Chain A
Amino acid sequence: MIALEKRPQPARGWVIGAPLLAVVLTMIAGGIMFAALGKDPVGAIRIIFWDPLFSEQFSGYSRPQLLVKAGPLILIAIGLSLGFRAGIWNIGAEGQYIVGAICGAAFGLAFWPSTHPLIFPGMVLAGLLGGVLWAMIPALLRVYARTNEILVSLLLVYVAEAMLASAATGWLRNPDGAGFPGSRNLARHAGTDNPELIAGTGMHWGVLAAFVAVIAAYVIMTRHVLGYQIRLAGQAPRAARFGGVNAGRLVILCMGVSGALAGMAGLFEVSGPAGRISIDFNVGYGFTAIIVAFLGRLNPIGILLAGLLLALTFIGGELAQLMLGIPAPAIQAFQGMLLFFLLALDVLANYRVKLKRRVAA
């Protein structure tokens, strides 16, 4: 009989080891899945994890994409991780991302075709505020009406999607676009564009913001009283109140920060890689960021690495679709599987596995 015995404290080795082992197990299980689809499993795994970075044929295009895709994932996941650590479950980052993008784009389009140097900073600010606004709805409802923030933030994603549809087909539609849905292209217009800062790297303002967020989150979580209070509130809410932590203020702060980062990520995306507001410019970064946050152990450095890994699966997934005809949803299932294995392996960090002989009854 196998028994689990709680460790006095989490095993350090497994805290780092579990995500690595989870990646390996996901590759194996994913290989089985690809084999079941009638594809060459080893080839598929190589195309997803190796070719985007090292194949001569593809890496020229794929390598910069790594930062392009990792930027928003990391930026959103950093915001989410603060809340998750405090036991505040904002799972509607996708909605905050969309609203941030709409607000930021609307700001830029309001001054069209001006190329004033303050327009882009204004768009970033508008995107940030849009994300904060959308995140404040579940935050305030949790604090003042004690409504479950998981459900509210998630349901608001669908509301944001309805808003996006109306923006793309209505009030933000390109007046010169012959009636096709979608806004003007922000990325091809000086003044509203979020350009590649260093040619050939994929580095844009959003990626830079993600790196800054990683460093800031690291300092806050390890050194600042706020980080201490966040951890305290998540681990022992009653002790946190005893320690003078104002739970309501923490909810508003954590939700606000994660909304701000998600909103900014949305704006950077819509003014750069995506280029414009369209019905489906969002590709689920807000949800994938949840996986990034957990895979990175809610630790800023871990999130940085996890963001790069998940970005790789996006790029590799596209490549696999192109080369092997592996359907696009396979990658989503693959990412979900990764989170499963990680959660399952967590048990090793917190519990010691013991084999016991069954005592004769």
Chain B
Amino acid sequence: MTALLEISGLSKAYPGVVANDDVSFSIQPGEVHALLGENGAGKSTLVKMIYGLVKPDHGTMRLKGAPYAPAEPRAARAAGVAMVFQHFSLFEALSVAENIALGMEDPPKPRDLAARIRDVSHAYGLPLDPFRLVGDLSAGERQRVEIIRCLLQDPKLLIMDEPTSVLTPQEVEILFQTLRKLAAEGTAILYISHKLEEIRTLCDAATILRLGRKVGECTPRAVSAAHMAEMMVGKSLAQPARDTHTPGAVLLAVKGLSLPATTPFGTSLQDISFLVHAGEVLGIGGVAGNGQDELLAALSGEINAVPETITLNGLPIGALGPNARREKGVLCAPEERLGHAAAPEMTLTENAVLTARIRRGLDQSGFVDWARARRFAQEIITRFDVRTPGTEVAARALSGGNLQKFVIGREILQDPTVLVVNQPTWGVDASAAAAIRQALLDLAQGGAAVIVISQDLDELLEISDRFCALNEGRLSPARDARALSMEEIGLMLGGAHDMAEVVA
């Protein structure tokens, strides 16, 4: 049997980085093939070359035995290669059917297309209404749009880039059934992930990348997750260390917090209540787009709420702005590093001033003390091992992991009473992620209250004392994180709040 896709010696270099170096592997028809690697291992660049978005510097590809070098995605699609992106390439203000038509070479008439969307989406257990605006859909539903768009092209090879990062455990199960059905029909699937258990459940073969090079291949079902992790990371990582402790007094209390959505496709917060104690890590899970950004904005003071709905040590702070809250010790690190937590074009020194001006005394009677700001930036760089040529480098020149260390370090070094972080390790390499988690645990150990909002359940279970889930702007009651099963978490994430109590 000839391989469906054969890749040999693919290389791609960007200025300063070699994204892929001499990568070769092949995929058989009907095979679910995993591409495994850390963030920055070169998975995305590799699939972009297969999909015609990036041209390789060296190397060749063969599809069904014939030379294959797509000049653009259109050519890739014509050859039977389809791709579901990690960050969806969807248009919020357009309908499901319009979005799907845009991904097709020769779409049928709108009415016929709508009928086909209904048929195919039902056949694969992914129901969709063709006339709804994509902006109104949940992350899971948006992924369905992408998948249906691919399936209507009848692809020979389907590339899926980190598809489960936006799904609840139940939705993951549905997706896997769909993928298995497709594979059984002969479609090959290239499945990109860094989640080992998923790969062991789903995939027939795996290629492992590290720092742009292929470091091994295996049959996932036949080897242990630990073995794959070692190949992926190249060294064994220290698990974050933590001592058991009894939580202290309540520091931050949120009671009955409701906020209307601020953007057309935003989420409104509804009657959110929770407590965080000194020395405690509260994990807030949830699939993207369920109100995480809005909750962080309400806690940081970027959106004002009714004063009494948020209290710190019993004093109302709900109506205070970001700087007034910082003065009182409530600090935040938003999800979006570039453009929200840091100004991309500004230097690290200038970005240090962004949030630390008041607590670190970086200004005097309205004038910025730049020497002092530079020293503080240097302190963050040293203490949190931020890899950068210096303090006068623009924030956007740093890698994701290094900038995230800088952002988290900037807040931690201000000695917060309460620290709220959203997606602290998103897009960060494993060693930086481990360092960040350890820093958060150390902070709680020192008596601060830490709130971690994240979509990464493994991360939350690893570091949280208590866990609650955000679903469509509502927050479930918090439960002891150590006593939760994956199934219970799935129900909480899916919005079955009452169920959670019944199960408890």
User: Which residues of A are in contact with B by a Cβ distance under 8 Å?
Assistant: 5, 8-9, 223-226, 228, 231-232, 235-236, 238-244, 246, 359-361
Contacts and interface: CB of A to CB of B under 8 A. Distances in A.
Interface string B349-372: 010011101000001001110100
Contact of B302 (A228, A242, A359): A242
A244 B341 contact: no
Contact of B341 (A223, A231, A239): A239
Nearest to A238: B340
A240 B346 CA distance: 12
B118 interface: no
Nearest to A360: B69
Contacts of B339: 236, 238-239
Contacts of B366: 224-226
Contacts of B357: 225
Nearest to B323: A244
Contacts of B326: 244
Nearest to B300: A242
Contacts of A238: 336, 339-340
B394 interface: yes
Closest 4 CB pairs of A and B: A244-B323, A361-B71, A236-B343, A8-B397
Given A223-B368, A228-B353, 18 more contacts: A5-B15, A8-B396, A9-B345, A224-B368, A225-B363, A232-B343, A232-B354, A236-B343, A236-B346, A239-B342, A240-B343, A243-B322, A243-B323, A243-B354, A243-B355, A244-B322, A244-B323, A361-B71
B192 to A, nearest CB: 24
B321 interface: yes
Contacts of B321: 244, 246
B393 A223 contact: no
A235 B323 contact: no
Interface of B: 15, 55, 69, 71, 300-302, 321-323, 326, 332, 334, 336, 339-346, 350, 353-355, 357, 363, 366-368, 370, 393-394, 396-397
Given A223-B367, A225-B367, A235 B346 contact: yes
**Most chain B beta-carbon neighbours within 10 Å: one of A8, A223, A239, A361:** A239
Contacts of A9: 345, 393-394, 397
B153 to A, nearest CB: 21
Contacts of A224: 366-368
Contacts of A223: 367-368, 370
A242 B71 contact: no
Given A5-B15, A8-B394, A236-B339, A242 B367 contact: no
A231 B321 CA distance: 20
A286 B300 CA distance: 41
**Most chain A beta-carbon neighbours within 10 Å: one of B344, B346, B396:** B346
B329 to A, nearest CB: 15
Contacts of A361: 69, 71
B13 to A, nearest CB: 13
18 contacts: A8-B396, A9-B394, A223-B367, A223-B370, A224-B366, A224-B367, A225-B368, A232-B343, A232-B354, A236-B343, A239-B340, A239-B342, A240-B343, A242-B334, A242-B340, A243-B323, A361-B69, A361-B71
B354 A242 contact: yes
A249 to B, nearest CB: 11
A226 to B, nearest CB: 7
B263 to A, nearest CB: 12
Given A5-B15, A223-B368, A228-B353, A239 B55 contact: no
Contacts of A244: 301, 321-323, 326
A155 B9 CA distance: 61
A225 B350 CA distance: 11
A325 B301 CA distance: 63
Contacts of B300: 242
A210 B4 CA distance: 72
A244 B354 CA distance: 8
Nearest to A246: B321
A239 B367 contact: no
A226 B366 CA distance: 8
Contacts of B343: 232, 235-236, 239-240
B83 to A, nearest CB: 19
Contacts of A359: 55
A341 B321 CA distance: 43
**Most chain A beta-carbon neighbours within 10 Å: one of B326, B368, B393:** B368
A238 B394 CA distance: 17
Nearest to A241: B302
A243 B323 CA distance: 7
Contacts of A246: 321
A232 B368 CA distance: 14
**Most chain A beta-carbon neighbours within 10 Å: one of B71, B340, B342:** B340
B454 to A, nearest CB: 19
Given A8-B393, A243-B355, A244-B323, A236 B367 contact: no
B355 A242 contact: yes
Given A9-B397, A244-B323, A235 B368 contact: no
A286 B368 CA distance: 32
Given A241-B322, A242-B302, A244-B323, A232 B346 contact: yes
A304 B367 CA distance: 24
B346 A242 contact: no
B45 to A, nearest CB: 15
**Most chain A beta-carbon neighbours within 10 Å: one of B321, B334, B343, B345:** B343
Nearest to B15: A5
Nearest to A361: B71
Contact of A239 (B71, B354, B368): B354
A82 to B, nearest CB: 16
Contact of A235 (B302, B345, B353, B355): B345
A359 B59 CA distance: 12
Nearest to B303: A241
Nearest to A6: B396
A54 to B, nearest CB: 41
A145 B343 CA distance: 27
B90 to A, nearest CB: 22
**Most chain A beta-carbon neighbours within 10 Å: one of B345, B370, B394:** B345
**Most chain B beta-carbon neighbours within 10 Å: one of A225, A232, A242, A360:** A242
A343 to B, nearest CB: 18
A238 B339 CA distance: 6
Contacts of B350: 228
A74 B334 CA distance: 40
Contacts of B367: 223-225
